Amino acid sequence: MTILYLKALHIIFVVSWFCGLFYIVRLFVYHTEALEMEEPKQTILHEEYMKNERLLWRIITTPAMVLTLITGISMLIIAPGYLQGTWMHVKLTFVAGLLLYHFKCGSMIRQLALKKSKWTSFQLRLWNEVATLFLVAIVFIVVLKHSINWLWGTFGFVLFAIVMMMIVKIVKQIRS
């Protein structure tokens, strides 16, 4: 029964973590665009985005990541048999990638605060889709577990990534 409570909490924390990741990069887009504006608008928006980014990061995103890891590790301690499945190793690989994504976003907050970010708003829009790719991959791996054909799964993942990037480019062209 404990494992079911942990799974429920794990899912809640994963959802919260992804909400934070999706929103933080959206704030980066707006922040970057604000830095291209004229004074005093630039300074006012820069201060506001810095405050919002810090609050989101410290109160929602990072705590949700930590709680996701705690509940996930707890489930593996209670049910170590999960580690025998290839699907779990693939999932954990994607989770490691997601952690790198998380920490890169943390460094981007610091760069934007110092107005030293080299990212364009278009690059940030693409970067925002990386979290979506992690989400899709992890959910499909967990739900399909043993029934997934890894060759077709990889092909589907790559195809999904290409479609996502094409949509972002089309939206950029429409906005221009």
Q: What angle do CA 90, 93, 94 make, to 5 degrees?
A: 90
State the pLDDT at residue 151.
61
State the pLDDT at residue 107.
97
Q: Where exactly are the structural domains of the chain?
A: 2-175
Task: Tell me what the mean pLDDT of segment 117-125 comes to.
Answer: 93
State the pLDDT at residue 94.
93
What is the amino acid identity at position 28? F
Distances (CA, A) of 168 to 1, 4, 81, 112, 163: 43, 38, 40, 22, 9
pLDDT at 150 over 70: no
CA dihedral 56, 70, 75, 144 (to 10 degrees): 30
Mark out the alpha helices in 116-149 (DSSP H runs). Answer: 121-144
Phi, psi of 154 (to 5 degrees): -65, -45
Q: Give 26-61 pLDDT, tens digit per residue.
A: 999 999 999 999 999 999 999 999 999 999 999 999
pLDDT at 148 over 70: no
Q: Which two tokens stand for residue 54?
A: 């810090």
For residue 72, the Cα-to-chain-centroid distance in whole angstroms is 17
Q: How far apart are CA 54 and CA 45, in angstroms?
A: 14
**Low-confidence winner among 1-5, 25-29, 148-152 (lowest mean pLDDT):** 148-152
pLDDT at 68 over 70: yes
State the pLDDT at residue 73.
97
